[in-house]
Amino acid sequence: MSEKRARSAEKRRTRKENNYILEYYEAIQNGSIVVGHWIMLLLEFLINGLAEKRFFYSSEKADEVIEWIETHCFHTEGPLAPQPLKLELWERAFIATIYGVVDERGFRQFREIVLIVSRKNGKSLLAAAIAKYEWQCGGYGSKVYNIAPKLAQADIIYSNVWQMTTLDPEYIKLKEELSVKDMHNKSVKDTSILPRHRMTDLFIPALNASVMKIAFSAKKSDGFNPSFCACDEVAAWEGDAGLKQYEVMKSGMGARPEAILLSCTTSGYVNDGIYDELLKRCTRFLLGNSKEKRLLPFLYMIDDIEKWNDLEELKKSNPNLGVSVTPEYLLDEIAVAEGSLSKKAEFITKYCNLKQNSSLAWLDAHVVEKMSGDALNLEDFRSSYCVAGVDLSQTTDLTAATIVLEKNGELYVFAKFWLPSEKIDEAIARDGVPYNIYVQRGLLELAGENYVDYKACYEWLKNLIEQYEILPLKVGYDRYCAQYLIQDLEAYGFQCDDVYQGDNLWPVLQEMEGLFKDGKVHIGDNDLLKIHMLNSAVKMSTERGRGKLVKISPTAHIDGVAALADAFCVRQKWNETIGIQLRNE
């Protein structure tokens, strides 16, 4: 440690402890800073986790990095260059969370960091400052990588690191001191401690520490051992190549207990790439639906797409509004966007951070928990009216039917699932779900051998009438449902209605979410339906301002929620005709 760093450490030990996470939260609470839903969820998670001692805060570790960055990192372009970097409160909270929040062993709690923030909010400069710290202070053998699909993009952070180095008075002084040479033009002093720019990397020989910029390469897909990796603009990383490169860098960090994988990006246009995967994981984590412990999502996004041109709303996606991005600049961009649909789509993507057709986890875990409770009994609803929904599009896999009953102003959901008997072992192994236990509990029924026998669903709905006198006034079904089931239901007397599971269901999903959050819907102890709710995501279209129900991951099941949405759709659609009967008063 240099004499200067030693003095800084002593100074930190003798002053009052800072907690920039708490300071940021308090500024949001008193209204001096505006943030969106996702940042608020993250801060509440952090503060609750610290209070419950799930992890701990070291102001000394956080302050060391913040002070070092503000001393040794500089603006490299624009009107503020070459002044020292002055971190905003949100940036201090960001760095304090990465370096100051530790586990019970004193190691960094979070190692996979995702920062989504709009254009011109200083994300590359911030990433470069962290990369410079890791290179010069990360210890012997520190390996820093800046990675992007193209070398020119990877060079942005890389070049910033070197430019900051050449602006650093400590580097300038050291270079001058080591420039003394003898009569043979050889250095008198050991120059191995001096950072240098080589053809292939930035290097400090005494520390064996390097910074490299790399682009995706099929020829070089392993062999990395990063202590820090900055993944720049991951929203532009194409499909499989991006997913593979990300996993390569992540898996390469296994031997380093405090390695950091930082993805910094604005929103983008690439579908089904690493950005979409990270966004699903991050939103699921923030909603409490994930068991991940090392993920840290800072998602600066607007909440209301209808307010895309409102500066107050734009503060949520532009935390540096008024600093590196001016209100006048955004107003000029808004004026252009209001006159062009393509420019509006670009503005919403790059300045609001709402990706066209992006998928976000739908329901908070605590909302789903609130819906759960003691087992429901059909006998308690004898002689009642209801609506039903069926989802039998996948007859070789899990399928579902639901009914929604109203009693005393509350809504109660019964859901039944079916699975082919020959598929249950395969399904248990694939999904990691104890389907055999759900069979024993009566939530799931084995019907057919290699495909679901639709008659099982028919018999369940018919039994509601014949055994419990519970009458579904309307049955909503997905248009891909087995048509022979619908024909049999209609022949029995059920009134069936085709439901298209697209973004036209958005008003229905919004109503469902509102009722769920208000505690008006109860699912009893149906754990299988609960799993499907936690597996549900909403894929938003920024162009249409609507969302549709999708799976949180390709292998997840949401059949129960799809069937429930069908039921809620016909309940909403036919409310004028059957609404009074459905109250069961």
* Domains of the chain by residue range: 3-361, 365-582
CATH topology classification for 3-361: Rossmann fold (3.40.50)
Element (H, E) at 444: strand 444-446
Helix, strand and coil in the chain, % to nearest 5? 45, 20, 35
Residue written as token pair 């003095």: 7
Give the phi and the psi of residue 550 in degrees, each rounded to 5.
-140, 170
Question: What pLDDT is attached to residue 217?
Answer: 64
Do residues 116 and 267 touch, judged by C-beta distance below 8 A? yes
Calpha distance 475→570 (Å, rounded): 7
Element (H, E) at 10: helix 3-14
Calpha distance 428→517 (Å, rounded): 31
Calpha distance 239→270 (Å, rounded): 8
Question: What pLDDT is attached to residue 397?
Answer: 77
Do residues 561 and 401 touch, judged by C-beta distance below 8 A? no
Question: What pLDDT is attached to residue 543?
Answer: 64
CA-based nearest residue to 233, from 285, 269, 272 = 269
Calpha distance 511→502 (Å, rounded): 16
Element (H, E) at 42: helix 37-51
Give the phi and the psi of residue 310 in degrees, each rounded to 5.
-100, 120
Cis, peptide link before residue 82, omega less than 30° from 0: yes
**What tokens does 197 get?**
């720019």
**What tokens does 95 get?**
């760095």
CA distances 366 to 23, 286, 412, 531, Å, are 26, 11, 18, 13
Per-10-residue mean pLDDT, the chain, length 585? 51 62 97 97 97 96 97 93 96 98 96 96 96 97 94 94 97 90 72 94 97 76 84 89 89 91 92 88 92 96 93 97 94 92 85 81 88 94 96 77 96 96 89 90 92 91 96 89 84 93 87 94 95 89 77 88 96 95 94
| Residues shown for the chain | 585
Torsion sign across C-alpha atoms 15, 20, 21, 24: positive
Listed in order, strand segments (DSSP E) in 464-579 are 471-478, 496-499, 521-522, 536-541, 546-551
Helix (H, G, I), strand (E, B) or coil at 282: helix
Helix (H, G, I), strand (E, B) or coil at 297: strand
Helix count and strand count (H, E) for the chain = 22, 20
**H-helix segments, 222-337:** 239-251, 274-286, 311-314, 327-337
Calpha distance 112→5 (Å, rounded): 27
Question: What pLDDT is attached to residue 1?
Answer: 39
Burial class (CB in 10 A: 0-12, 13-18, 19+), 257: exposed
pTM: 0.79
Calpha distance 354→348 (Å, rounded): 6
Beta partners for residue 583, in sequence order: none
Calpha distance 260→234 (Å, rounded): 16
Calpha distance 401→476 (Å, rounded): 10
Question: What pLDDT is attached to residue 360?
Answer: 79
Helix (H, G, I), strand (E, B) or coil at 376: coil
Question: What pLDDT is attached to residue 9?
Answer: 53
Give the phi and the psi of residue 86 in degrees, each rounded to 5.
-110, 110
CATH topology classification for 365-582: Nucleotidyltransferase; domain 5 (3.30.420)
Q: Which residue type is seen at 575?
A: N
CA distances 206 to 41, 191, 196, 258, Å, are 43, 8, 11, 21
Calpha distance 296→114 (Å, rounded): 6
Beta partners for residue 260, in sequence order: 228
CA-based nearest residue to 558, from 363, 372, 287 = 363
Calpha distance 208→262 (Å, rounded): 22
Nearby residues of 325 by Cβ (< 8 Å), 6 or more positions away: 118, 119, 120, 121, 318
Question: What pLDDT is attached to residue 474?
Answer: 96
